[in-house]
């Protein structure tokens, strides 16, 4: 069976955290052998590191401040994140970016926190894991200032349109596809775009415990998404791309390991 790496899982502070051993074991039973725990603020990043230390080689994490928490950005935030990245468990800066859909933090603070985390990734020569929702123009403008100096950049949970897809491909971004693509109501546009993502730039993710694929049958009794469902998403995406599932799984796994600088 092919191996899978779930490149975005929200474990810390979620409903899955108390059940972490079972979540990891169930994922491994489905050949999801590694996953990346998202750090969306400083405390969560610290907790993610502690969690990863319990599962070496299986769990990795990011360290960053999500746009929802951008109002928490302080003058010493970059220094704190810099120290957190010294942990071998931290394999990317983020999740950072812009979210004008919820606007949980003022937009000027979102832009400041995003730019300073990109600068940190450049300084540390680390890949960056990013978030963008309803903020394409500002996101693109800020990212363009740093992209040439970033070793690698990933927009996770991509749900944009053809125009944004073309812009992100031009910037040589990796793009993460979630179970959103399995939603017959909201995911139709994404389903039409998935075949246009270059082979060497597509990644897959669950964004657990969110975005449980609606098309799963039988439908899981729990409404929670889990890393163990990543192969289902892979199969769905492979069909959209008219690719053999084993070939696609190997491609996405190789891309994931390459992006995070892990051995393949």
Task: Pick out the residues of the known binding site.
Answer: 95, 131, 156, 207
| Range 150-154 contact pairs with CB under 8 angstroms and sequence separation of 24 or more | 150/118, 150/121, 150/122, 151/121, 151/125, 151/126, 151/127, 151/261, 152/127, 152/128, 152/259, 152/261, 153/127, 153/128, 154/7, 154/92, 154/127, 154/128, 154/129, 154/130, 154/203, 154/259
Q: How far apart are CA 122 and CA 124, in angstroms?
A: 6
Q: How far apart are CA 49 and CA 90, in angstroms?
A: 7
Query: What are the b/e assignments for 116-131, b being 16+ CB within 10 Å?
Result: bbbbbbbebebbbbbb
Q: Helices in 57-187 by DSSP H: which ranges? A: 77-84, 107-124, 136-146, 162-170
Q: Report residue 125 as tokens.
A: 């020569």
Q: Report residue 210 as tokens.
A: 């969110």
Angle 88-24-227 from CA coordinates, rounded to 5°: 100
List, as residue ranges, the binding site for a divalent metal cation.
95, 131, 156, 207
């Amino acid at each position: 069976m092919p191996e899978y790496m779930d490149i975005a899982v929200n474990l810390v502070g979620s409903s899955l955290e108390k059940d972490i051993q079972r979540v990891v074991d169930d994922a491994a039973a489905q050949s999801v052998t590694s996953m990346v725990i998202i750090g969306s603020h400083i405390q969560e990043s610290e907790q993610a590191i502690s969690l990863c230390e319990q599962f070496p080689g299986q769990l990795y994490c990011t360290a960053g401040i999500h746009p929802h928490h951008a109002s928490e950005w302080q003058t010493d935030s970059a220094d704190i994140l810099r120290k957190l990245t010294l942990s071998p468990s931290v394999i990317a800066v983020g999740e950072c970016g812009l979210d004008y859909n919820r606007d949980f933090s003022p937009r000027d603070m979102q832009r400041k926190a995003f730019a300073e985390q990109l600068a940190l990734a450049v300084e540390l020569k680390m890949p960056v894991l990013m978030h963008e929702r309803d903020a394409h123009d500002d996101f693109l403008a800020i990212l363009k200032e740093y992209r040439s100096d970033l070793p690698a950049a990933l927009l996770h949970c991509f749900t944009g349109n053809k125009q944004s897809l073309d812009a992100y491909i031009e910037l040589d971004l990796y793009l993460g596809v979630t179970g959103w693509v399995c939603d017959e109501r909201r995911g139709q546009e994404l389903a039409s775009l998935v075949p246009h993502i270059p082979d060497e730039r597509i990644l897959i993710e669950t964004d657990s415990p969110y975005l449980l694929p609606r098309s799963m049958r039988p439908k899981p009794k729990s409404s929670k998404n889990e890393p163990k469902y990543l192969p289902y998403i892979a199969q769905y995406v492979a069909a959209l791309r008219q690719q053999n599932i084993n070939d696609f799984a190997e491609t996405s796994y190789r891309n994931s390991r390459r992006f995070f600088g892990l051995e393949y």
